[in-house]
Amino acid sequence: MDAIKKTFGEVIRQHREQQNLPLRKVAAQLDIDTSTLAKFEKNLRHPNREHITKLADMLALDEQELLVLYLSDRVAYDLVGETNSEQVLRVAEEKIKYIRSKNTVQGVLGF
């Protein structure tokens, strides 16, 4: 899937342009200025969860897929310069499982 290779910003810009939506109109709907939206599209600033929800709605995109795209961008940009990025991702995946299981046990015990 080519969309996986595209960045969050590229996908947002592509869909906005395909729908002939000017930056100013989308920015107004997000209650941000045009330059901030332009920075989202250039991957220079990070939207918050509410922005992602609104963008998904406005651009008729699946919110969860857009969120996954955004979060994977964050991880990719953090690791792009690392020579051992694949190992880091494997360890991070195991840590996520560990933290979730720990939180589940604490939740059951009422901590």
pTM (whole model) above 0.85:
no
Instruction: Render each residue's pLDDT in the chain as its tens digit; 111 residues.
Output: 455 689 999 999 999 999 999 999 999 999 999 999 999 999 999 999 999 999 999 999 999 999 999 999 999 999 999 999 999 999 999 999 999 988 876 655 555
Q: Which residue has the tokens 């810009």?
A: 13
Distance CA 110, CA 32 (A): 40
Contact 45, 36 (CB under 8 A): yes
pLDDT of residue 1: 42
Altogether, the residues listed in the chain come to a count of 111
pLDDT of residue 103: 80
pLDDT of residue 76: 92
Q: What per-residue string of b and e applies to 40-53 under the rule 16 or more CB within 10 Å gives b?
A: bbebeeebeeebbe
Q: What per-residue string of b and e applies to 77-97 under the rule 16 or more CB within 10 Å gives b?
A: eeeeeeeeeeeeeeeeeeeee
Structure tokens at 74: 């964050």
